[in-house]
Structure 1
Amino acid sequence: MQKGSMADEEPKFEHLGLDPRLLQAVAALGWRRPTLVQAEAIPLALEGKDLLARARTGSGKTGAYALPLLHRLLLLRRGGKEAAVRGLVLVPSKELGRQARDMLRHLTAFCARDIRLADLSGAEDAAAQRPVLMEKPDVVIGTPSRVLAHLQARSLSLQESLEVLVIDEADLLFSFGFEEDLKSLLCYLPKIYQTFVMSATFNEDVQTLKELVLHNPVTLKLQESQLPGPSQLSQFHIQCETEENKFLLLCVLLKLSLVRGKVILFVGSIERCYRLKLFLEQFSIPACVLNSELPVKSRCHIISQFNKGFYDYIIATDEQDLADPEGPPEGKRRKRGGKGSKGEKTRDQEYGVSRGIDFQNVSAVFNFDFPPSVESYIHRAGRTARVDNPGTVLTFVSPAEYPLLANIESALTGDSSETPLRPYQFRMEEVEGFRYRCQDAMRSVTKQAIKEARLREIKEELLNSEKLKTYFEDNPRDWDLLRHDKPLHPAVVKPHLRNVPEYLVPPTLRSIARPFLRKHQRQKRIPPRSNKGQKNPLRSFSSVKRRPRKSATKSKATPSGP
């Protein structure tokens, strides 16, 4: 059975038959109407059917499984059922586990006494989590490996109590190396339970999962377009003949504030992550890094503060995709826990931020390093233009990467002749004045400076541990000590690069450029900025027309419509 369209009348949450306390929580979250996947999935789930749902990123899949799960548990509690673990949510990464836990907490805000949650995906060891499981929470959230460890240690039992199994971001579980863990885990489950499998794509791994855990499911194939349309998501590519041009263009875009709002810059490795951060520090542009070397608590804290508006720029890696660009050999899966290549021994195998994580109010995504696959591009682009907000994706492309760009465009358009990734018009001759500054900054970012920066970052994040939580609760003004975008400064910072002289700003951009001139200062907490309703944050050189010069020494430009 397949469904793919909503009824003529768009339903409201009040029409879905949910518990009143859940409706209160939905109203408190500001959800006015269910999304397409929620409107289709919730009624079927409440009927007790197994679901296999595909919907694009940012479409509300978490709410689609969380609301019927919680409604069923509340009914069981009302019927006098004793406390037991009746819901299990499996996620492929620790960051997604934290996100799912937070969403479930919001939805149980008005029934917290009846529904208790336990997140096993955190950094605590199994011994520290056993007391939580002894209290028999209603819902357990965790990665397959962590849940399996507790089942094998008999600190968690699901054989007699489990009612609902949820597998979130199902297309990632096997690629993250959880195939064997999941198969072993299923042996500890009862014969009968309801299952929800949620995914952004239907690949071979999802089909394997379907055979393993689903029984005559309803398949929902929603949002055939894997990314929002051009009216919501603007996609550009920009050709960079050399590596130096990449850094030059990024410097101009950020230093002249040609891109407004919050930006995620995706790179291909941890080394590149710190190279880019140290490069931006030369120009006094603060940015925080997000990679698998950092402690999980630090990663979740960075995401939380970014969503609250503390930082404008995050440099993120998606090493799970880039560890093996060609993918595993047919019939084989990547094993968990391996040391990987030299220099990557401390990589967290349960790390993942390019997929599933709900970064809020992101104006633009920059693919500074080209994504290794179509799926990687889709998941990266899915960090912006979420729900109804507009967004922009800019991909830096070298000549050798044009065949890969063609593959992405072909996958996104299908039979359509429309080009989804439009060329971003940028006149390089007008920013040549920045080149010597860019070269000066790049010379300062040596391999030794990068190595020292990585070590310093890890040491500082380990010091900013859970042990300081009580102190900061008593001294909230000192919370800025935990900022993640502070300069690392192992490289020599040249003061003259901080400011942009007026003569370097191209005449065509003087009316729209706002050079980043102020020193990096400790910022106060500010509310998150919504990019809803704003125009494309990237301004093209071609969108600014020249005026005739009024004199031989002075020129002025005014913006005009595209």
Structure 2
Amino acid sequence: MALVSEESSKSQSSLGSFKTLGLDPRILKSLRKLKWESPTAIQASALPLALSGKDLLIQATTGSGKTAIFVLPMVQKILQIKESKTKEAKSNSVLALVLCPTKELCIQTEECFVQATKTFPGIIVFRSLDPTEAKSGVFSSLEVQFPDVLIGTPRQVSRCLSSFSGKIIRKVKLVAIDEADAMFSCGFEKDLRETLSHAGRNFQSIVLSATLSKEVAIIKTLLPHNLALVRLLNQELPEKKQLKQLCLRVQHKTAKFCVLLHLLKFEKIRGKCLVFCNNIKSSYKLKLFLDSFKFYSCVLNDQLPFNSRHSVVELFNSDQYDIIIATDLAAQSFRSEKKKHTDQEFSLSRGIDFQNVSLVLNFDFPTDSSVYIHRAGRTARGAKRGTVLSLIMPSDEAALTAVQERLKSDSDDATEESENAVEDYFVDMAEVDKLVYRVNDVLSSLSNKTIRSAQLQEIHTELLQSEKLKKHFKKHPSDLVAVQHGNNQTGSKLKRKFEDISEFPEYLAPTKLSTSDAGIEEVQSDTRGVLGESKDDGGAWDRKKAKKQLQKETLDYYKKLGLLKKGKKQSRNKDPLKCL
């Protein structure tokens, strides 16, 4: 996670610079090397208070640079302690503690400390707890010397404290709790209470959250001092100029696949795209669907091992994939999936730094407005612009209304006649309907067995790529052969099966293609964005006539390719495409 220095809503000149904050010259040198000249609006408001030792509760939009608000004061405080000749400077104890809800966020926070101490490495020791050590309960890396800054999830830190009888954080001077509203939903209430009980009562607290929920109010009661609230404009998401929020209404599940294929195939979407689904099965089905049309993507969910998740994020951030299909733990709606072995120290919409995301697509709309807020926060980070597009079915209307009301109450001009934050988006549904046959052909092949095989294939791939198993495979080559034999190659089979269907003839292309550089093209059209709904006024489009014309054109095209069986008469009432 990079510490953001660009400002999205205010000019840089009005926010001053880091020099005016009284930071150590070595920290300022590191910031200059990283070209961080001016603080963001929330940094300019909160950093002076944090540096003066105030206990803070900070609410700001995701991507606004909240991490710097506790990283810089921690580095400053530890430098001052180490230069003093007090007992604290000589004692072997943790001076600062950072609690994060996910393992991925812990690693990104550690990277922030690396960036902030780039010009004076080694003076301050900071360490993110090893997930393997936390799982085993044996912290061999901490036995020689405790770090100055300890970073981990509440569960990891709680296990660490039990190994060292809680002595490790008794002299802690500063405690930061990042993404506080996610702590209880990840199941960390008990661990958080145990951790804070070992920290004494003489420390500065900094609590950060994108939303103010009941969980945050409970966390405040666990801390020794009252927290001063710092927030800007009571706004949970960036302004409309920076973040566009759109919704496209469809009537059924198949319509979602048609619309997404239309947007991708005809380049209505440009740049990197983060797609959210509400359950793991849906995410793998969508991946196989996109693979069939040669839009390659990667899947990220809580059932993948930590190293695999970290690898997927790195591949996406290094531009090896433009589409990532994510499943957020908080949005899963199937009880059967919750009973499986999942990693509670993981959440897709919380804290993970997906770089340069142009579009967040809610393929499945979340039932909770807080989940929507955090999903939308994956784009339009810093000064960059972004778009959120949600595909809305009739069953999602109530959840969309809740999001609209929440965002309307957060805006400054919250009046009854004010515009909705999430605006309607329209596409030419006549063009989208041309893809129905191809979409149904692919979806009919994606049975539950096929989707399950795709999940097993990923497990086999992870086994083959595992660094820990390489030595085992050298000693036991028969095991390697067994794993390779078990790789069912589901994705490759589908690609070969639908190799021809991924090539679109000219008559399926829309009359006007996108010319936008990034994000999603704005289509100016009067067509209602509901698949299967006709428009009766102003030169009505005859859907049945268009369907027959499409069938005739498609049939002629396949005849040219020689794909139809000759000599067989087709029934009048039978769809001519069924003979394929």
- TM-score bucket (shorter structure): 0.7 to 0.9
Q: Is the 8 A contact 1:453 1:490 kept in 2?
A: no
- Is 2:304 the partner of 1:309? no
**Which one is further off, 169-178 or 303-312?**
303-312
**Identity across aligned pairs (percent)?**
39
Q: Rate the CA distance shift 1:198–1:399 in 2: closer, same or farther, 3 A.
A: same
Give, in whole Å, the separation in 2 of the partners of 1:391 and 1:79. Answer: 47
Q: Rate the CA distance shift 1:282–1:159 in 2: closer, same or farther, 3 A.
A: closer
Shift of 1:344: 4.6
- Is 2:53 the partner of 1:44? no
The structure 1 residue matched to 2:491, chosen from 485, 488, 492, is: 488
Q: Secondary structure at the match of 2:388?
A: strand
Q: Rate the CA distance shift 1:6–1:67 in 2: closer, same or farther, 3 A.
A: farther
Give, in whole Å, the separation in 1 of the partners of 2:51 and 2:283. Answer: 45
Q: Is the 8 A contact 1:121 1:143 kept in 2?
A: no
AA in 1 matched with 2:296? P
Shift of 1:130: 2.5
Cα deviation 1:369-399 (Å, max 9, x = unaligned) = 0111111111111111111111111100011
Give, in whole Å, the separation in 2 of the partners of 1:56 and 1:319. Answer: 21
Q: Whose radius of gyration is greater, 1 or 2?
A: 2
Structure 2 residues not aligned, in runs of 5+: 1-9, 472-488, 528-580
The structure 2 residue matched to 1:53, chosen from 55, 58, 64, is: 58
Q: Is the 8 A contact 2:27 2:116 kept in 1?
A: yes
Shift of 1:214: 4.4
Q: Is the 8 A contact 2:450 2:490 kept in 1?
A: no
- Is 2:362 the partner of 1:353? no
- Is 2:69 the partner of 1:77? no
The structure 2 residue matched to 1:153, chosen from 154, 163, 177, is: 163
Shift of 1:508: 2.8
Q: Rate the CA distance shift 1:303–1:118 in 2: closer, same or farther, 3 A.
A: same
Structure 1 residues not aligned, in runs of 5+: 325-339, 471-485, 514-533, 545-562
Q: Secondary structure at the match of 1:302?
A: helix
The structure 1 residue matched to 2:123, chosen from 98, 114, 125, is: 114
Q: Is the 8 A contact 2:59 2:209 kept in 1?
A: yes
Give, in whole Å, the separation in 2 of the partners of 1:182 and 1:292. Answer: 21
Give, in whole Å, the separation in 2 of the partners of 1:100 and 1:157. Answer: 24
Equivalent position of 1:66 in the other structure: 71
The structure 1 residue matched to 2:506, chosen from 493, 502, 508, is: 502
Aligned residue pairs total: 489
Q: Secondary structure at the match of 1:158?
A: helix
AA in 1 matched with 2:505? P
Q: Secondary structure at the match of 1:489?
A: helix
The structure 1 residue matched to 2:370, chosen from 370, 375, 391, is: 375
**1:459-474 correspondence to structure 2 within 5 Å:** 459-467=460-468
Q: Rate the CA distance shift 1:323–1:140 in 2: closer, same or farther, 3 A.
A: farther
Give, in whole Å, the separation in 2 of the partners of 1:487 and 1:312. Answer: 21
**1:228-377 correspondence to structure 2 within 5 Å:** 228-323=238-333, 341=336, 344-377=339-372
The structure 1 residue matched to 2:30, chosen from 19, 25, 29, is: 25
**In angstroms, what is the RMSD of aligned CA positions?**
2.5
AA in 2 matched with 1:68? P
Q: Rate the CA distance shift 1:122–1:230 in 2: closer, same or farther, 3 A.
A: same
Shift of 1:346: 1.8
Q: Is the 8 A contact 2:302 2:343 kept in 1?
A: yes
Cα deviation 1:515-554 (Å, max 9, x = unaligned) = xxxxxxxxxxxxxxxxxxx66533425399xxxxxxxxxx
Q: Secondary structure at the match of 1:25?
A: helix
Give, in whole Å, the separation in 1 of the partners of 2:236 and 2:338. Answer: 35
Equivalent position of 2:98 in the other structure: 89
Q: Secondary structure at the match of 2:70?
A: helix
Q: Which of the two has greater helix per residue?
A: 2
Equivalent position of 2:209 in the other structure: 199
Equivalent position of 2:225 in the other structure: 215
Q: Is the 8 A contact 1:54 1:199 kept in 2?
A: yes
Shift of 1:220: 0.7
Cα deviation 1:230-251 (Å, max 9, x = unaligned) = 1111111101111111001101
Equivalent position of 2:448 in the other structure: 447
Give, in whole Å, the separation in 1 of the partners of 2:398 and 2:106. Answer: 36
Cα deviation 1:157-179 (Å, max 9, x = unaligned) = 33542111110011110111111
Give, in whole Å, the separation in 2 of the partners of 1:539 and 1:287. Answer: 24
Give, in whole Å, the separation in 1 of the partners of 2:114 and 2:464. Answer: 28
Q: Is the 8 A contact 1:445 1:491 kept in 2?
A: no
Q: Rate the CA distance shift 1:40–1:270 in 2: closer, same or farther, 3 A.
A: same
Cα deviation 1:488-515 (Å, max 9, x = unaligned) = 3364631112222221101133x649xx
Q: Secondary structure at the match of 2:114?
A: helix
Shift of 1:187: 2.0
Give, in whole Å, the separation in 1 of the partners of 2:404 and 2:30. Answer: 40
Shift of 1:282: 0.7
Give, in whole Å, the separation in 1 of the partners of 2:216 and 2:263. Answer: 40
The runs of at least 4 consecutive aligned structure 1 residues that moved more than 6 Å come to: 5-8
Equivalent position of 1:419 in the other structure: 420
- Is 2:521 the partner of 1:538? yes
Cα deviation 1:356-381 (Å, max 9, x = unaligned) = 22211110000000111111111111
Shift of 1:62: 0.4
AA in 2 matched with 1:197? V
Q: Is the 8 A contact 2:94 2:168 kept in 1?
A: yes
Q: Secondary structure at the match of 1:364?
A: strand
